[in-house]
């Protein structure tokens, strides 16, 4: 995240620049919390060629919390280490 501050037309302005993938529900990322409830100017820059790629990521996020196959693993790191030890 990059924050810029400066004076524009004698009005103190602050800019927050974040490169992210917006959630399908359209909610802003937590990096913008300091401006929630305030009047802001929003400029959205996006690469039209990458739209399909972000659509795939969004469809994967729809599954978050719905897959229960690994729910009973108490220590995911230890579990991964055990699984990978089979390759040694």
CA distance 7 to 12: 5
Domain count within the chain: 1
Domain that holds residue 74: 2-85
21 Cβ contact list (under 8 Å, min separation 6)? 54, 57, 58
Contacts 24+ apart (CB under 8 A), 65-70: none
The answer to whether the predicted template modeling score (pTM) of the entire model surpasses 0.95 is no
Beta bridge partners of 8: 11
Q: What is the pLDDT of residues 10-39, one digit of tens each?
A: 677 788 888 888 888 888 888 888 888 888
């Amino acid at each position: 995240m990059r924050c810029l501050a400066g004076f524009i037309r004698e009005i103190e302005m602050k800019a927050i620049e974040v490169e992210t993938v917006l959630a399908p529900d359209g909610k802003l990322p937590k990096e913008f919390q300091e401006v929630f409830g305030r009047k802001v100017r929003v400029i959205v820059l996006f690469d039209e060629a990458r739209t399909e790629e972000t659509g795939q990521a969004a469809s994967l996020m729809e599954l978050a919390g719905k897959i229960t196959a690994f729910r009973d693993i108490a220590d995911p790191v230890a579990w991964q280490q055990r699984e990978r030890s089979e390759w040694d």
